[in-house]
Structure 1
């Protein structure tokens, strides 16, 4: 038997090398196609992309320098492979690590218009949230502004990615990113679909005594829905303040908190007076998660869904 199988190892090795070579060739071809798309867009002359104000923004060529005024858009631009072209960002742009080296031109709420004008970017990627006057100020000064509304759903995030990929001439990359996120979420759901009864989860945003959580019609609710968990306060809308008695009465099976801004958040919750009667506390099912990932409507939403699902159903991810 061993004699008959001598040919298997070298043939398998050859097939493996061929497969690796094919994968490398495909990756190179994909990169070449993306570059060709950018070059074609530049050579094609003016093109127009509609922003979230419904305004048609026309570009004579693909922007080479960008200012991003919202962290989620900065993450999208990096994911699209054009992050190195960002010359100005906000104080809260911390991901990926390279974003921390970009010059700060905004606190997210207030912009340094003078500095932005000095940098003279090809496009300013702004957002809507009471910043209309600042946007007008930049446009009046002659800058091209592309506005992305703050995302409130996964579909909004997908649209943001596609819009920015169109602005930057990398449409194929944008579609690839969206497909990757959707595949990641589907993979999580294939695991959680095996759960008979969804676990009741309390998501604590800020700690006692001023406790806040998330209700229905929020980005976090969509993460919970996709992760196959039941939000303890889904019967109420938006962000809401709750009492300790509310939480104790509703008796969550798992407590999730993104309170990375305080030390020992999990121990603080486990040690609260009267909370020992809560199932999540008695079972020590209190989990600290990355608040930045869980709250940022950008390309890491698939990761957020996976983090939530794994925190609630750890056995499914072993």
Structure 2
């Protein structure tokens, strides 16, 4: 896992934590640290209590001054979009820890790292064990599917221009757990853009798109005439899953895998 920030034992347990990503927020609450969270982004809406915290703007529109005004003793950041803000905060003497997991194992490791930073190592180990066991219980349903029988999956990240994920994205691991295979798993990138003709040539079995309204999410694809030739569209194998699950490498991992198993293997 790519992690930057604190690499030493903390001297005291943080009591004023600012979380700059929904996944970090969910992990903090799962560790029982909700009362220590003083600031979150506008996207941090789970659990319900998280939405009652001070909002410090969106995920990619962070204001360092707003964050510093909360007088945090620990800031948890996430992803490449926040690297410039992380640098600004560190220059101002703030304690920042940055996370960007690319694999399932690294997601589990982020539980433990956050546990170390917050003096909650025992709770973090317990959380990891609990989530791992839930994931394995779901995975057992598709464990006997041979690799050659796994449906190929294309993840729509953007439509204009067309963007998707490669083997360096944590979602690739999630599809594997759900008995599917990212059609671009051999591509070493995290996110990249591609020509539609490339997608036509690969013709994946399933298309995954994030959305909260299944009908509207599917329409974003089916309303495009050029997509009609894809097998996944012809057979209505468009899997819609909430962005609040598929885009968050956090404590609800098992729930994400379970939803995809149901859509990848409805039989």
TM-score by length of 2: 0.84
Residue 165 of structure 1 and its aligned partner are, at CA, apart by: 1.9
Measure the CA separation in 1 of the matches of 2:223 and 2:58: 36
Structure of larger gyration radius: 1
SS in 1 for 2:157: strand
**Bigger Cα displacement from structure 2, 302-311 vs 280-289:** 302-311
1:219 matched to which residue of 2? Answer: 170
Q: Once superposed, what is the RMSD of the aligned Cα atoms?
A: 2.6
1:136 matched to which residue of 2? Answer: 90
2:115 matched to which residue of 1? Answer: 165
Determine if contact 1:126/1:135 at 8 Å carries over to the other structure. no
Measure the CA separation in 2 of the matches of 1:111 and 1:138: 15
Within 5 Å, which residues of 2 pair with 1:1-318?
52-53=4-5, 55-56=7-8, 58-60=10-12, 62-109=13-60, 111-127=62-78, 129-139=83-93, 143=94, 145-196=95-146, 197-207=149-159, 209-238=160-189, 239-260=191-212, 264-315=216-267
Which ranges of structure 2 fall in alignment gaps of 5 or more residues?
none
Once the two structures are superposed, residues 255-276 of structure 1 have per-residue CA deviations (whole angstroms, 9 ceiling, x without a partner) of 1111459972213423432433
Once the two structures are superposed, residues 22-42 of structure 1 have per-residue CA deviations (whole angstroms, 9 ceiling, x without a partner) of xxxxxxxxxxxxxxxxxxxxx
The alignment covers a number of residue pairs equal to 259
SS in 2 for 1:59: coil
SS in 1 for 2:186: coil
**Bigger Cα displacement from structure 2, 151-160 vs 183-192:** 151-160
Call closer, same or farther: CA 1:231–1:138 in 2, change over 3 Å: same
Measure the CA separation in 1 of the matches of 2:58 and 2:113: 24
Residue 303 of structure 1 and its aligned partner are, at CA, apart by: 2.1
Measure the CA separation in 1 of the matches of 2:194 and 2:182: 14
Measure the CA separation in 2 of the matches of 1:278 and 1:111: 39
Once the two structures are superposed, residues 210-229 of structure 1 have per-residue CA deviations (whole angstroms, 9 ceiling, x without a partner) of 22121221111111122221
Measure the CA separation in 1 of the matches of 2:254 and 2:17: 26
Determine if contact 1:57/1:146 at 8 Å carries over to the other structure. no
1:43 matched to which residue of 2? Answer: none
Determine if contact 1:129/1:150 at 8 Å carries over to the other structure. no
Measure the CA separation in 2 of the matches of 1:116 and 1:204: 33
The answer to which structure, 1 or 2, has the higher relative contact order (CA under 8 A, 6+ apart) is 2
Call closer, same or farther: CA 1:272–1:111 in 2, change over 3 Å: closer
SS in 1 for 2:15: coil
Call closer, same or farther: CA 1:119–1:185 in 2, change over 3 Å: same
Determine if contact 1:212/1:242 at 8 Å carries over to the other structure. yes
Measure the CA separation in 2 of the matches of 1:67 and 1:95: 15
SS in 2 for 1:228: coil
Determine if contact 2:10/2:117 at 8 Å carries over to the other structure. no
